Every structure is written in C-alpha cells, then in structure tokens.
Amino acid sequence: MNLDVFTLFPEWFEWFGSQRHVSNAVAGGSRLAYVNMRDHTPLSGGQVDDTPFGGGAGMVLRVDVLDSALRAHYGVDPVELRAQRRVIALAPGGRLLDDALVNELAAEPALTLLCGRYEGFDERILEHFASDVISIGRYVLSGGELAAMVICDAVLRKLPGSLGHAESAAQESFSVALDGHPEYPHYTRPAEYRGWRVPEILLSGHHERIDQWRRERSRERGAEAGPEPGGP
C-alpha cells in the first residue's frame, strides 16, 4: 500500500510514522510519504490559502496550489490522476468512514489523502481532483491531518503483518466474522479482582462454547449501541 498525504504540517506525521503497527507495515512493503503543499505553491510568500469569495470567516485552500502540488508529485494533470488512484479529500461533510469503507480502501494499491485547513478546500478541488470526500465524523476538526492519520491507521492495521497476530484484524469490532457487530468483551489476569470475577466460561477451555458466548455478547453490544449515525 502506498499512502501519500498532502498536508501543510508534515511534521505532525513523524510521531505517527514511528508507531509500531505503522513501522511494521512499512517494513512489510507499505510506503508512507508526506508532501508539504507549501513547497509547491506558485504564489509568493508560501501562500496556500485565501479568503472566501462572497465573504465569511476563515481561509480556503486554493485550487491552483493543489494543482501544482499534485502535478509536481505525480507528473500528471491532477484531473487525470483520480482515474489512476483514489484521491481522497478529508472534509467533515464527506462519506462517513466505517469498517466497510476501511476495507475498501485497504484493498487499493495506493491512496492519496488531501488535508484541508481552516475552512477547508476550494470546491473545485473536490469537483475536479478528488475521487472521494471522506469524513471521520460529523464534527469539525481544524484540519484534515488527524482524519488522515485515522484513515492511515485503520487501513494499515488491516494489512497482513501490521498487527502481531493475523487473527486480530479478522475478528475485531465490525468485522464480517462478527456480523458487523462490536467486539465481545476481553478479560485477562487476574481472574478475580476486588471481587469482580471473569466470566466462568472463559476459564473453561471449552472453545466452541467460548466462541458462542463471544458471538452472543458481540450481538448484544451491537443492539445496545443502536444503529450507526447516517447508516441504513
């Protein structure tokens, strides 16, 4: 998986890149690159954004700046780029990220993530350069960087070798193996703490019954959590 993040704050990603599952994914052949859009601006003084036409608060990322940055990095017209790879703009109003979308993205060979700032993107970036607009939730962050990290994290941990155990990603919350329900509760030693005992079944060594118990708890949690906001 090749992940390119276009950002004004590449240094934010230094910590992220040093996390174990991210460095495992890189050791396993994935590649993460960060492009500072300011390095490619055709405007003087490193300008990348501007005030919105029609008035209003905040600054908007300019379409000409994104055009130069994408063109410089990929060597093609960004209008054509989105036919070659998913180019994802991060914005609060986009398609909501969920496990199905993470799986869809993890199956791609390459992703480009565009981080907006302040008031976000000039709409022409979304119309002409992006293949997708994705939101990590219906709230507004001060930029797309944290959302990009969320996507990189969720996608990379789906790749083989990123997690310690191959099974961990298959049977986790919202997976097909759990019929899309949240994960069942986990317990570890001590078996009893302050009078709080671990469910007896988990100590029984009876794998089929444990499996059934876990599925039931997972289903119950799904019912308690209720439908996903924006879901069917």
Residue indicated by tokens 């070798």: 161
Max Cα-Cα span within the chain: 70
CB 89 within 8 A of CB 65: no
Collapsing DSSP states into helix, strand and coil, what is residue 7? strand
Distance CA 4, CA 60 (A): 21
Phi and psi, residue 162, nearest 5°: -75, -40
Least distance from C-beta 98 to ligand ADE, angstroms? 13
Distance CA 171, CA 184 (A): 10
Residue 154 CA, distance from chain mean position? 5
Nearer to ligand ADE, 78 or 144 (CB): 144
Q: Interface with ligand ADE includes 137 (CB under 6 A)?
A: yes
Report which residue type is found at 221.
Answer: R
CB 103 within 8 A of CB 76: no
Distance CA 148, CA 111 (A): 11
Distance CA 177, CA 188 (A): 22
Mask 71-90, x = binds ligand ADE (CB under 6 A)?
Answer: -------------------x
Q: Interface with ligand ADE includes 140 (CB under 6 A)?
A: yes
Least distance from C-beta 147 to ligand ADE, angstroms? 3
Q: Interface with ligand ADE includes 149 (CB under 6 A)?
A: no
Nearer to ligand ADE, 67 or 132 (CB): 132
Q: Interface with ligand ADE includes 135 (CB under 6 A)?
A: yes
Choose, by CB under 6 A, the member of 66, 87, 91, 114 that binds ligand ADE.
91
Least distance from C-beta 126 to ligand ADE, angstroms? 12
Q: Which stretch binds ligand ADE (CB under 6 A): 49-57, 79-87, 138-146, 168-176?
A: 138-146
Q: Which stretch binds ligand ADE (CB under 6 A): 2-10, 26-34, 129-137, 191-199?
A: 129-137
Interacting positions 97-126 with ligand ADE (CB under 6 A): 116
Alpha helices (runs of H) in 133-206, residue ranges in sequence order = 145-156, 166-170
Least distance from C-beta 57 to ligand ADE, angstroms? 15
Q: Interface with ligand ADE includes 136 (CB under 6 A)?
A: yes
Q: Interface with ligand ADE includes 92 (CB under 6 A)?
A: yes
The dihedral built from the CA positions of residue 31, 37, 38 and 43, taken in this order, carries a sign that is positive
Q: Interface with ligand ADE includes 144 (CB under 6 A)?
A: yes
Residues that bind ligand ADE (CB under 6 A): 90-92, 116, 135-137, 139-141, 144, 147
